[in-house]
Amino acid sequence: MERLSYTLSAPIPAGGTKPRAIVGVVASGNLEVLLERALAPDLCTVEIATAAHGFAEIWAAVVADFVARRAAGGLRIAINDGGARPDTVALRLAQGARLIAGDAA
């Protein structure tokens, strides 16, 4: 199990008021994302526990793009990864940001 941790300044604060949200499942090729509204609105942290080693550079890129493009300010995010592909990770993170903002469409 590899553990990775990122703290980034977040240009867009998370919308809504929900304290927490969870998306995805821990399964092979998938991941579970827990988002908690727990930080200053211009900050985002992401903690990753992954079974797949050696992908730190890709995780850093996916997380940086997510925080730059989506409303992630104020969120403490924990990821349990089952070897998901980067496109799935990016999608789950975006789904999580939408869910905690209360737009459940």
Partner 1 sequence: MRDWATQKAARAARIAAGASFARGKVVQAADLAPFLEAVLRPGDRVCLEGDNQKQADLLADALAEVDPGVIHDLHMVQSGIVLPSHLDVFEKGIARRLDYSYSGPQAARIARMLYGGQIALGAVHTYLELFARYFIDLTPQVALIAAVSADRDGNLYTGPNTEDTPTVVEATSFKDGLVVAQVGEIVDRVPRVDIPGDRVHFVVEAGRPFHVEPLFTRDPGSITETQILTAMLAIKGLYAPYGIRRLNHGIGFNTAAIELLLPTYGEKLGLRGQVCTHWALNPHPTLIPAIEAGWVEQIHCFGSEVGMDDYIAARPDIYFTGADGSLRSNRAFCQTAGLYACDLFIGSTLQVDLSGHSSTVTTNRIAGFGGAPNMGSDPRGRRHPSEPWLKAGAEADPDTPAPLRRGRKLVVQIGETFGDGNVPLFVERLDALALAEKLDLPLAPVMVYGDDVTHIVTEEGIANLLLCRDPDEREQAIRGVAGYTEIGRRRDAGMVARLRERGVIRRPEDLGIDPLDADRSLLAARSIKDLALASGGLYRPPSRFRNW
User: Which residues of the chain form contacts with partner 1 (CB under 8 A)?
Assistant: 52, 55, 57-58, 61-62, 83, 85-88, 91, 94-95, 98
First to last CA, the chain: 34
43-50 and 75-81 beta bridge pairing: parallel
- Name 70's Cβ contacts closer than 8 Å, sequence gap at least 6: 12, 93, 94, 97
Q: How far is the CB of 47 from partner 1 (least distance, A)?
A: 19
Minimal distance, residue 36 CB to partner 1, in Å: 21
Radius of gyration, alpha carbons of the chain: 12
Closest approach of Cβ 40 to partner 1, in Å? Answer: 26
How many CB atoms lie under 10 A from the CB of residue 5? Answer: 8
Give me the least distance between CB of 66 and partner 1, in Å please: 11
